[in-house]
Amino acid sequence: MDGGVCFVIKSMVEAAKRYNILFRWVYWHFGEAAKAILRGWKNFLLFTLNYFSVPQLTKTLFSHWRRYRESYGRGFDPKRYLSAFVGNMISRTLGAIVRFFVIIVGLAAEVVVFGIGLIIFLVWIFLPVFLILAIAAGIGLLI
């Protein structure tokens, strides 16, 4: 007999979850929609990293600027060797400076996207509370 009562109670709970609009809304708001917001937030974070090429620029921080490099040539000519060495060092330094600033801008944009995403997610989670408070204030319960 206990098994039958448990089955009936389980069936009623499942039916309430399936057909009660309040349960369905709570499941959607805090489950499906929250997951979708988190997925979108993750996509924006990944897009920002890829847009500014932060991982690639970090790997190639000290590479030549625009692959511009001078050849040392054949044989040993100290003047040509020194000229090529200085030119290559200038190219690498310029490349490092430009890449460093782009990385800094990319990380700053990442922080901004993270903050905006956090605000959007928290507003979404607390939206029902804001709605109840707005209704209460509108009918004069909060003074």
Could you state, in order of their start, the residue ranges of all structural domains in the chain? 36-138
pTM, two decimals, is 0.73
* DSSP annotation string for 106-135: HHHHHHHHHHHHHHHHHHHHHHHHHHHHHH
Local confidence band at 43 (pLDDT 50, 70, 90 cut-offs)? very high
Output the pLDDT for position 19: 74
- For the record, the structure tokens of 61 come out as 């921080």
| More confidently predicted of 66 and 60 | 60
Alpha carbons 45 and 111: distance in angstroms, whole number: 9
pLDDT surpasses 80 at 21: yes
pLDDT surpasses 60 at 88: yes
* Segments in the chain forming alpha helices (H): 2-19, 21-27, 33-51, 54-59, 78-138
